[in-house]
Structure 1
Amino acid sequence: MVCSIDHLASAAGVTALDRGGSAADAAIAANAVLAVTSPHMCGLGGDLFALVHDGSAPAGGAPGGTVRALNASGRAGSGADAGRLRGEGHRLMPHRLDVRSVPVPGCVDGWLALHARYGRLPLAELFAPAIRLARDGFPASPLLAPRVRDVADRPGAADLAGVRTAGDRVRRPGVARALEAVAAGGRAGFYLGEFGEGLLELGAGEYTRADLERAHADWVEPLRVRAFGHDVWSAPPNSQGYLLLLSLGILDGLDLPHSTTSAAWAHVLAGAARAAAHDRVAVLHEHATGLLSPAEIERRRAAAGRRDLPVPAADGDTTYLCAVDGDGLGVSLIQSNASGFGSFLFEPRTGINLHNRGIGFSLEPGHPAEYGPGRRPPHTLTPALVTRPDGSLRAVAGTMGGDAQPQILLQVLTRLLRHGQDPGAVIAAPRWRFGSDTGFDTWQRAKSAEGTVVELEDGTGWQDGLSALGHRVSPVPGGAFGHAHLIEVLPDGMLAGAADPRSLTGAAIGR
């Protein structure tokens, strides 16, 4: 089964499975299509994180498996200079239209690392659907079409300039060439080829050739917490995945109402999320450790009822996809430009838009996440994977949503693991989130409880109850509350999955 925001991508993933590919092949094929059809969310100019459950059984044939984490987030170029930015008057990293907020994109390195370890089919075969769509054209989705106006006049965005409404044909020949270059020449075909040359040109000293020669994907030790009788896994720092796990660890020791329709249920989850995340800006950096110790979980659990803590929030543009194959290999993959079209900058030769993940860096002198050469910024990308006590795979899950990703996944996994809801009900259920101005500013501009707004999606029924519990509540009709996807492996090996209806064109496809 493959779940993604685009039926074209999910279909490409299932085609890879039909041809004997692994779940990793399916994930790469699906992500390649999304890199073509969803430039407002992800692409070859962005970053990638993934979790993989290898489905292997230990000696004796008992259930089990190993979970591995892939960090394919790029590093700042050799020209990174926080002092220069401060001298120009910046207190925060530039949000858009500044190449200094563009670390070297890690997506392609991530695909290659995932394929090298778990792939079965050649990259040319996996990329074929994406290349065909990029060259021959695809219909602009209802999500893409209204966003194009943001960048239609930007240099390098000619491929998108003609889009007026959903269904308009879009061709991206430069992206097709980039995918062909990766298939033929590996990472050198991309990072040292047409794209790399254009990036060096655009960077004007931000990057060196050595920055592009350095691989930006690493297999790292995943983080884990026990909650609701399961092990929940996520990526370690520089990912904010620890926030999901910390929230679950806190929640597992609290008195949680049995009914998910109760406002008290949302109240308890919000308290756990606040206690986990209020100091993210101070503690999250690429070398952070000790964030999930039992003592730390207990300390934060004691603060879960406090209202005077700064609060994380809210929206952002990312894409999540997941795949599980017939051999039990499960992949939870999240890939992103960060904020919409990212930096609003386009590599001039291929027309690939570039992310702005560098907005996660700090400009505070001496901060462990300070912008500097070769450093990775704090990242919102939060893949999730769940295993049973015997080590077997229970679920892969994730969502878009910027700072709100851990909040959304906290609700998704609590419904699944604590309340036993099926994937369709879990994904479709209305959600809450903490409000903010952008999806990425809350860590820099902490808000007290007085300024905190709990935003509610249509249909929650929690408004009066949360208000009575002391929350400032704001209904957000038609608001973006994440595109979450989930595949559950049932005890008999059958798969149950759901793609988020909020994505409008998403699909969960099994075979």
Structure 2
Amino acid sequence: MTRPGVARALRAVAERGRDGFYLGEFGQGLIGLGAGEYTEADLAAPGADWVEPLKVRVYGHDVWSMPPNSQGYLLLRSLAIAEGLDLPASPRHPGWAHLLAESARVAGYDRLDVLHEAAKDLLDPAETARRRALVDPRSRLRLRAPAEAGDTTYLCVVDSDGMGVSLIQSNASGFGSMLFEPRTGINLHNRGIGFSLKPGHPAEYGPGRRPPHTLTPALITRRDGTLRSVVGTMGGDAQPQILLQVITRLLLHGEEPGQAIAAPRWRLGTGGTGFDTWDAPDDAVLDLEEGASWGDGLAAIGHRVAALPYGSSFGHAHLIDVRADGMLAGAADPRSLVGSAIGR
């Protein structure tokens, strides 16, 4: 298959930077597709910023992720909640999955109400403590639902100087909006699904605004500021839930990257799009991968449990760990048909 339009667009970027893309052939086609939603002035205005990442200190390390409009705060809040709980020593114990799942649930049940690009104080320690106190080690919490009811690529790299990059890109749904700019053949994402159409909502759709989104790239540093790990995953709403499990295995239980990545997982599921977990958080089922040892124990304390095949529905997580001696250990998720770990 050849994509000459994509090749022309990439050549324009190489020669003219962002203007070659947004003010060139692709931009003109996008304006035609937008039915008045986009103007040349919109495309001429830069839309990327350097931002301050969010951070929590857990298990003797600093874990970093993206600020709003990303849902990265859910990973960090979940980790902070879980660190204050009495996790079983073995990740095979049903209580391990229960406490992490409850940490994810109490961290995110109100995401649709509070996540927008200007959201502040989402990692307030007092609020984290309040939510932690809701977790019962013996029972699944009943949550109040809000008032109303992808396709992702992740890569990470560490160079010989110790510089690490945790990078994620996504169309949202598999082919995004299903629209293709006709001149170049470039398809358009549908990240606009994160907007609210409710008047007055803090994430209401409007000009010049950015939608809440699910992308949660992460990195981990030691107390002295040196890089420990770069990690991320695809998985829609489940990205913070997947990384909560991987990072806990890595930092608390001392598992090797390959173990932490390949181990069975749970996720909060609805059987829907992968972007609707928090529409009705109390209706979410705890999906378990085949091979997980937690099923009977979780059902006994009130979780609705469903077993699913080991595979892509539980994300494709990838990780590079920097050892204290500077050696690197990487792992690509065996659930991915195209993921790979390469070193030299």
Could you tell me which runs of 5 or more consecutive residues in structure 1 were left unpaired when the two chains were aligned: 1-169
Partners in 2 of 1:326 and 1:397 — Cα distance? Answer: 18
1:252 aligns with 2:83: yes
- Listed one character per residue, the Cα deviations across residues 237-273 of structure 1 (whole Å, up to 9, x for unaligned) are 0000000000001011000001011111000000100
1:465 aligns with 2:297: yes
Partners in 1 of 2:187 and 2:245 — Cα distance? Answer: 32
1:382 aligns with 2:213: no
Aligned length: 336
1:172 aligns with 2:13: no
Aligned to 1:368: 202
1:174 match: secondary structure: helix
* TM-score (normalizing by structure 1): 0.65
Q: What amino acid is aligned across from residue 210 of structure 1 in structure 2?
A: A
Partners in 1 of 2:192 and 2:310 — Cα distance? Answer: 29
Pick closer, same or farther for the CA change 1:293–1:502 going to 2, 3 Å: same
Aligned to 1:399: 233
Aligned 8 A contact 2:105 2:281 in 1:
no
Q: What amino acid is aligned across from residue 501 of structure 1 in structure 2?
A: P
Aligned to 1:269: 100
Pick closer, same or farther for the CA change 1:508–1:340 going to 2, 3 Å: same
Q: Pairwise CA RMSD of aligned residues?
A: 1.3
- 1:458 CA drift (Å): 1.4
Pick closer, same or farther for the CA change 1:426–1:311 going to 2, 3 Å: farther
- 1:474 CA drift (Å): 0.3
Partners in 1 of 2:330 and 2:145 — Cα distance? Answer: 31
1:345 match: secondary structure: coil
Aligned 8 A contact 1:311 1:452 in 2:
no
Aligned 8 A contact 1:408 1:482 in 2:
yes
Aligned to 1:212: 43
Aligned 8 A contact 2:249 2:255 in 1:
yes
Aligned to 1:428: 262
Aligned to 2:73: 242
1:454 aligns with 2:289: no
- 1:442 CA drift (Å): 2.8
Aligned to 2:328: 495
Could you tell me which runs of 5 or more consecutive residues in structure 2 were left unpaired when the two chains were aligned: none
Aligned to 2:248: 414
Q: What amino acid is aligned across from residue 290 of structure 2 in structure 1?
A: D
- 1:181 CA drift (Å): 0.8
Partners in 1 of 2:144 and 2:41 — Cα distance? Answer: 40
1:358 aligns with 2:189: no
Aligned 8 A contact 2:72 2:217 in 1:
yes
2:287 match: secondary structure: strand
Aligned 8 A contact 1:279 1:310 in 2:
no
- Listed one character per residue, the Cα deviations across residues 302-337 of structure 1 (whole Å, up to 9, x for unaligned) are 11236212589xxx4211110110011100001000
Partners in 1 of 2:217 and 2:338 — Cα distance? Answer: 21
Partners in 1 of 2:192 and 2:116 — Cα distance? Answer: 12
Partners in 2 of 1:199 and 1:415 — Cα distance? Answer: 44
Aligned to 1:286: 117
- 1:171 CA drift (Å): 2.0
2:200 match: secondary structure: coil
Q: What amino acid is aligned across from residue 465 of structure 1 in structure 2?
A: G
1:386 match: secondary structure: strand
Q: What amino acid is aligned across from residue 475 of structure 1 in structure 2?
A: A
Aligned to 1:12: none
2:57 match: secondary structure: strand
- 1:452 CA drift (Å): 2.8
Partners in 2 of 1:325 and 1:253 — Cα distance? Answer: 34
Equivalences for residues 61-460 of structure 1 within 5 A: 170-305=1-136, 307-309=141-143, 316-436=150-270, 437-443=272-278, 445-448=279-282, 451-460=283-292
Aligned 8 A contact 2:320 2:328 in 1:
yes
Aligned to 1:504: 337
- 1:207 CA drift (Å): 0.2
- Listed one character per residue, the Cα deviations across residues 86-138 of structure 1 (whole Å, up to 9, x for unaligned) are xxxxxxxxxxxxxxxxxxxxxxxxxxxxxxxxxxxxxxxxxxxxxxxxxxxxx
- 1:347 CA drift (Å): 0.9
Partners in 2 of 1:201 and 1:452 — Cα distance? Answer: 40
Aligned 8 A contact 1:274 1:304 in 2:
no
- Runs (4+) of structure 1 exceeding 2 A deviation are none
Pick closer, same or farther for the CA change 1:310–1:354 going to 2, 3 Å: farther
- 1:174 CA drift (Å): 1.4
- Listed one character per residue, the Cα deviations across residues 41-97 of structure 1 (whole Å, up to 9, x for unaligned) are xxxxxxxxxxxxxxxxxxxxxxxxxxxxxxxxxxxxxxxxxxxxxxxxxxxxxxxxx
* TM-score (normalizing by structure 2): 0.95
- Listed one character per residue, the Cα deviations across residues 212-240 of structure 1 (whole Å, up to 9, x for unaligned) are 11112100111000111110000000000
Q: What amino acid is aligned across from residue 459 of structure 1 in structure 2?
A: G
- 1:296 CA drift (Å): 1.3
Aligned to 2:318: 485
Q: What amino acid is aligned across from residue 463 of structure 1 in structure 2?
A: G
Aligned 8 A contact 2:310 2:335 in 1:
no
Aligned 8 A contact 2:109 2:145 in 1:
yes
Aligned 8 A contact 1:400 1:484 in 2:
yes
Aligned 8 A contact 1:274 1:311 in 2:
no
Aligned 8 A contact 2:109 2:281 in 1:
no
Identity over aligned pairs, percent: 73
Pick closer, same or farther for the CA change 1:277–1:435 going to 2, 3 Å: same
Partners in 2 of 1:464 and 1:180 — Cα distance? Answer: 56
1:189 match: secondary structure: helix
